[in-house]
Amino acid sequence: MAFRKFRAQQLFNGYALLEDNQVLITKPNGTIEDIVRADQAGDDFEELEGILMPGLVNCHCHLELSHLKNILPPHTGLVDFLCSVVTKRGFAAEQVQLEIEKAEKEMYDNGIVATGDICNTTDAVRIKSSGRLRWQNFIEVLSFTDAKAVENMAHYKSVLDAHVAAFPLPHRSVQTPHAPYSISPKTFELLNAVTAGKIISIHNQEHPAEDELYKTGGGDYLKLFKIFGVEKSPFPVTGKSSLQSWLPHFNNGQTIFLIHNTYMPPEDILFANRYAAVNGLTLFYCLCPNANLYIENKLPAVSDFMDNDCAMVLGTDSYSSNWQLSIAKEIQTIHRRFPAIPLATILQWATINGAKALQWQDDLGSFEKGKQPGLTLLSNDLGASKRIL
């Protein structure tokens, strides 16, 4: 068998940046064989400029919104952004499909190998089921009132069924809550029942109005509710933060991705981690920094999550809220904005942590013998990436 050999300026194995002059050896199909010193590898290796690393994992995307690229202006604030998204769905089907296809190709070409993708419809099924990437399909439920909880769950179950039929293992599909401001208590109960032991996600604390909604019943989200014909907050006033109000609905061994967390204070991080430990949940905190900058021009306090030993992963969000679908650009933004965080730590979030979060670490996320994680080359300035194998 003819092995392939790769030497880059730096080699990241999923856990650490290795010392200089390391050569990665793979089988022709990309299965990892070994990492050896250059003086032990012979002279037939391929030289690469940049950081050679395992395929990237995008834990949060909305591929079906790719037709909104350059449609919504940046820095509108979250509530106005959401109002725009829900009122700008009337695009021609051909255009929607074309933009999904272009976005999927972009992610494939820049070395993303697996994606946690939010789905409200079946618009992206045809293109995604081509099999070039691995997909965790989060069928996102919106259900504002208890009165329509069963009806809404049935609707999204039909979307789920279409995904299950189109995506055999190792892909997965599951119903998931959209956000604390769009899921009624009864709907949370139903979701807890149907997601036992599964991986789910939820948009968490993207705006101060989310906490205000649960603490007082008022705030900016009332504008969004009116679009859906809901005149006042349908959610219980708990006097607590959004996180402390919704998380206790889950107790069935779920793995939960908390997405964005832009306005998540340290006391809620502590509450979440303690609740998860006591109630058998696993939490991953997903950062989408460029989307946060696009919408709110604000970033989460990343040091708070690190101080509490949170498990971190990365996402791109959608083309409605980002300039590109590039995990490399997310790495670059975090590295520039938070220079105290070691680069190797950020690269872990983009590779092995993402693979563990999606429970695909047996073959993705790191250069270990027998795995087939994909090979991605990250530019030295961290701003671009491309698939090598």
Look-up of token digits 């029942």: 193
Please write the tens of the pLDDT for every residue from 356-377.
Answer: 999 999 999 999 999 999 999 9
Query: What's the pLDDT at 193?
Result: 98
Strands of the 255-260 sheet, one edge to the other: 199-204, 255-260, 282-287, 312-314
Query: What's the pLDDT at 385?
Result: 98
In this structure, are residues 365 and 373 in contact, taking their beta carbons and an 8 Å threshold? yes
Please write the tens of the pLDDT for every residue from 41-59.
Answer: 888 889 999 999 999 999 9
Q: Label residue 361 exposed, middle or buried (CB < 10 Å: 0-12, 13-18, 19+).
A: buried
In this structure, are residues 191 and 176 in contact, taking their beta carbons and an 8 Å threshold? yes
Amino acid identity of 216?
Answer: T
pTM over 0.95? The answer is: yes
Please write the tens of the pLDDT for every residue from 151-201.
Answer: 999 999 999 999 999 999 999 999 999 999 999 999 999 999 999 999 999
Which of 19-23, 26-30, 84-88 comes out lowest in average pLDDT?
84-88
